[in-house]
Structure 1
Amino acid sequence: MHETQLRELTGRKVLVTGGAGLIGSRIAACLRQVGARPVLLCTLDAYPRNTYRDLFGIDPSDRSVIVGNIQNPDVVRTAVAESDYVIHAAALADVAACSRKPMAAIHTNVTGTQVLLDAVAACERVRRLVFISSASVYGNGSPEDWARPCEEYRTVRKLLEAVYGRVPAQFHEHTQLRPMSVYANTKAWGETQTALTLGTAGTSYTVVRYFSVYGEPQVVKEKSHSWVVAWFATRAALGLPLHLNGGGHQIRDLVHVDDVAAATVRALVAPRAHNETVNVGTGTPTSIRTVAELVAEQYPQTRFVETPMPPGDPLGGYAATHRMEAVLGWRPTITVREGVARYADWLGRTPEAIPAWLRAESEAVTA
């Protein structure tokens, strides 16, 4: 994609729902870099208030920040009516939290999404909506997905099996969706509903399926098993062991949050992204155990402990990136090794990112 296409965003108002969170705040920063005017709609209740200001760079008193709920039709209609583009990043995105409280996931990820889609469909000003989905909609894929890499890459099959214990699944956008968790199921619904609602209204949309997002300033949440890089680095920094669920053989395609933000902004204006679904990943399979080993390079005294697989945690796979490259004219720039090192360096310079409850666990272990 030519950088000149990004100039279409100069001076344009872009509504980012969930815009005060990790991903939303990085998208907002990227939008400002290309001259757009982001407006952030968020409840500001996913983290302590100081996290938004001190780590994510969000000032709740700023005029560009709307503190409100995506389920409130009046708030949403007003925000949408003044927007040229919309990025829908608001969601209860913690897999474990969605499993514990499915109704909360439905209220935010289903009801909230429909409220937004209705407002966008009724607004002639909006040029395109980008719906943030997730690679979790693929689940473990199908037998065909596991077989395809074997056919395409026969010469490296034995190497893949030796490294990962199996041939990792490669997920293409046409892969059948097999969600394994409440969160994944809400995202699969959101994809279909976006196409149904906006397709009928004639409003352009793009669905972007994020693979495993990581990177500074991501911070861990209690009772969560998401965000493996942040979890491993934070525990290692405190001298706590790293839990390898199921032995750490799950495969993830780890994509840095800065790359995710860049891809999402491009999806707003790329002509070929009209009514498309696009993976956003690196195309590189990485095992959870490999992530642990990369973290251990930054914290040499790190210990590993094997633990059971949590419910809804897929074996996973990695992204087919052909469509992403063709549609967006773009590829990620940050490798996993570089990204893990960057996160560890940031954590060392930002000790306040380590939550008090995890410090207390560390102190209890060493007492």
Structure 2
Amino acid sequence: MNILVTGGAGFIGRWVVKRLLEDNHSVWILDDLSNGRRENIKEFLSNNNLKEFIHGDIKNRELLKDLFNNKFDICYHLGASINVQDSIDDPETTFNNDVIGTFNILEECRKHNTKVVFMSTCMVYDRADNEEGINEIHPIKPTSPYAGSKISGENMVLSYWHAYKLPTVVIRPFNTYGPFQKTGGEGGVVAIFIKRNLEGETLNIYGEGTQTRDLLYVEDCARFVVEAGYSYKVNGEIINAGLGRDITINDLAKLIAKDEKQIKHVPHIHPQSEIEKLLCDYSKAKKLLDWEPRFTLEEGIKNTERWIEENPDLM
């Protein structure tokens, strides 16, 4: 197939591209590099099936119009502003990228009948209120403009399924981590903790550290994203993916730190955006896609730590 991946030079995007190339598809990457990095896709540039890397913006309608002349079968739409804190400080940028940008993608996909896989987030949910976890009909609670923009994007994506029968699917992966994730302010908690631990620095925890996260290893996430594109069974659906196990940030820090004295609690920057308990119920993905995670948290942390040690220049 001919496939477009927006945000394909990002952390999850490069793993999605890797999998699509391994499946022998022709792949185009569109990324403005505001969050992604050329280094993430360097190893694919010699692959004949990577047709083009376009350094461009999903808000550029003319660019999209030309790009879609390639007659894509699937568009994996991962391009977005993804930082919760940034969205609170600058909601306009997040809205323009995550809502207007998504609308632009949808319009081109509608013209060419291209399936849309829309990358949403677990951050749209209210906290988990039971031990079964969060399923797709769990209440939503947009506690940040990032979450609000993603919900807006989701609704637009699903409206194109109902109004035009354009094949679309909304996917909500839980907190994803692994190799190629940034270890600075925009990175995930696992990558940040591992990097700071390797450098003998303190592991700073916002608030009391009792908040929990369901941590999904990136290769499991990429497999889920790709399979959602391949399957007609999920068209018009919202699908979760996660490990199905949550862990407090305190316990995560203890798992990574060499010495508990390294762990320090600091005031939360944006406490209003904190979700106290995130735990995924991925039974719908199991039923419709036959998907379930293959990596344990401990295996994933070990793989990530090894990669960070071996690639200090990519941090």
Q: Given the alignment of the two structures, is residue 196 of structure 1 paired with residue 164 of structure 2, yes or no?
A: no
Q: Relative to structure 1, is the Cα distance of residues 56 and 103 closer, same or farther in structure 2, using a 3 angstrom cutoff?
A: farther
Q: Return the offset for 1:78.
A: 2.5
Q: 2:39 aligns with which of 50, 53, 63?
A: 53
What's the CA shift for 1:301? 7.5
**1:160-198 residue CA offsets vs partner (Å, 9 max, x unmatched):** xxxxxxxxxx21100121111111111111111111134
Q: Return the structure number with greater helix share.
A: 1
Does 2:153 match 1:183?
A: no
What amino acid is aligned across from residue 263 of structure 2 in structure 1? F
User: 2:76 aligns to what?
Assistant: 87
1:59 CA displacement: 4.7
| Deviation for aligned residue 1:87 | 0.5
Deviation at 1:318, TM superposition (A): 0.7
Q: Which residue of 2 aligns with 1:217?
A: 180
SS at match of 1:272: coil
| Distance in structure 1 (CA, Å) of the matches to 2:278 and 2:290 | 23
Aligned to 2:278: 317
Structure 2: where are the runs of 5+ without partners?
none
Q: Structure 1 residue 249: deviation in Å?
A: 1.0
Q: Which residue of 1 aligns with 2:64?
A: 76
Offset of residue 81 of structure 1: 3.6
The structure with more radius of gyration? 1
Q: Give the partner amino acid of 1:53.
A: E
Q: Please state whether the residue corresponding to 2:160 is helix, strand or coil.
A: helix
1:306 aligns with 2:293: no
Partner of 1:258: 219
Which residue is equivalent to 2:233? Answer: 272
Asked if structure 2 preserves the Cα contact closer than 8 Å seen for 1:80 and 1:86, the reply is no
Q: Shift in Å at residue 23 of structure 1?
A: 0.8
Q: Which residue of 2 aligns with 1:22?
A: 11
Q: Please tell me whether residue 139 in structure 1 is matched to residue 98 in structure 2.
A: no
Q: Displacement of 1:272 after TM fit?
A: 1.6
RMSD between superposed Cα atoms in Å: 2.1
Number of equivalences: 310
- Structure 1 letter corresponding to 2:21: R
| Aligned twin of 1:13 | 2
In 2: Cα distance, 1:310 partner to 1:171 partner: 26
Q: Is the 8 A contact 1:55 1:217 kept in 2?
A: no
Alpha-carbon deviation of 1:101?
Answer: 1.2
- Cα drift, residue 300 of structure 1: 4.5
Contact 1:20–1:58 (CA under 8 A) maintained in structure 2: no
Distance change in 2, residues 1:246/1:301 (3 Å): closer
- What letter corresponds to residue 78 of structure 1 in structure 2? D
Alignment-mate amino acid for residue 174 of structure 1: I
1:130 is aligned to 117
- What amino acid does structure 2 have at the position aligned with 1:134? T
Q: State the Cα deviation string for residues 122-162 of structure 1 (Å, max 9, x = none).
A: 213x2x2100000000032xxxx51x43xx7xxxxxxxxxx
Return the offset for 1:302.
6.1
Deviations 1:76-108 (A, max 9, x none): 122234211111000011111111211110111
Aligned equivalents of 2:217, 2:43: Cα separation in 1: 18
TM-score, normalized by length of structure 2? 0.92
Aligned to 1:237: 198
User: Cα offset for 1:56?
Assistant: 6.2
TM-score, with structure 1 as normaliser: 0.80
- Measure the CA separation in 1 of the matches of 2:190 and 2:122: 17
Change (3 A) 1:302 1:69: farther
Note if 1:290 corresponds to 2:230: no
Question: 1 CA distance for matches of 2:249 and 2:76?
Answer: 30
Cα displacement string for residues 299-350 of structure 1 (whole angstroms, at most 9, x for unaligned residues): 4476010112331122131111110100111111111111111111111111
Partner SS for 2:96: helix
8 Å contact kept, 1:121–1:198: no
SS state of the match for residue 31, structure 1?
helix
Rate the CA distance shift 1:189–1:339 in 2: closer, same or farther, 3 A: same
